[in-house]
Chains A and B, each alone.
Chain A
Amino acid sequence: GAVVSQHPSWVICKSGTSVKIECRSLDFQATTMFWYRQFPKQSLMLMATSNEGSKATYEQGVEKDKFLINHASLTLSTLTVTSAHPEDSSFYICSARPPSLPSGRYNEQFFGPGTRLTVL
């Protein structure tokens, strides 16, 4: 259980275009989803936290207008990189958190496999 998928797994796009990445929780409802960015040989950087039906909370330094996050249902969140540029090339990872977990597991997250974005 607790499977999270991402689509696409990799994408190449031209500079100036927009790219949408989907994150789905397959066997549970995710009231909260997180979007991370992972640079080569570096740690995961939390970009934003999205709660179903409300606006995402962005971390400091993350451009809201560039990285649009929509969490329209309990099983789907999308990240749209608008007007992508080469510096946006990265590995984007989502994670999901169900509304309730057994005691001692309340802070667990379940991760998608990631999406490799390359902007030419």
Chain B
Amino acid sequence: GDSVTQMEGPVTLSEEAFLTINCTYTATGYPSLFWYVQYPGEGLQLLLKATKADDKGSNKGFEATYRKETTSFHLEKGSVQVSDSAVYFCALSFRYQLIWGAGTKLIIKP
């Protein structure tokens, strides 16, 4: 069945470092891909998404490109801030349901 695999955390970086969180998927058909973020004490928020191959989603300095050839949707940010500390989830859509990765906790130190 469809599944999402993302890198285990926690990922600890210093402020202004470059961030990559890997996400790969297996799916039949052509799913949409999402990154959600969960800040401490808050609900899940949609960070960005891509609906077809080669689409690039971007928001708040984060980017991810839908790579069909490598079945990947890696999350990147050029310069992280302390406020980016959160748990990041990669997900794909299957009809109206979402299939989730395990989440990656990101810790940014000043």
Category for how many chain A residues contact B: 20 to 34
Scan residues 57-103 of chain B and give those whose CB is less than 8 A from a CB of chain A. Answer: 89, 93, 95-98, 100-103
On whether the beta carbons of B46 and A108 are closer than 8 Å, the reply is: yes
On whether the beta carbons of B44 and A107 are closer than 8 Å, the reply is: no
Among B32, B44, B45, B100, the most chain A Cβ lie within 10 Å of the Cβ of: B44
CB-based closest 3 A-B pairs: A113-B43, A111-B44, A107-B93
On whether the beta carbons of A113 and B42 are closer than 8 Å, the reply is: yes
Partner of A44, one of B42, B51, B96, B100: B100
Partner of A93, one of B43, B93, B95, B97: B43
Category for how many chain B residues contact A: 20 to 34
Residues of chain A contacted by B89 (CB below 8 angstroms): 43-44
Among B43, B51, B89, B101, the most chain A Cβ lie within 10 Å of the Cβ of: B43
Residues 41-53 of B, flagged 1 when their CB comes within 8 A of A and 0 if not, give 1111110010100
Nearest chain B CB to A109 CB, angstrom units: 6
Give the distance in Å from the alpha carbon of A42 to the alpha carbon of B97 in the complex: 18
Scan residues 64-95 of chain A and give those whose CB is less than 8 A from a CB of chain B. Answer: 93, 95
On whether the beta carbons of B97 and A49 are closer than 8 Å, the reply is: yes
Give the distance in Å from the alpha carbon of A61 to the alpha carbon of B27 in the complex: 22
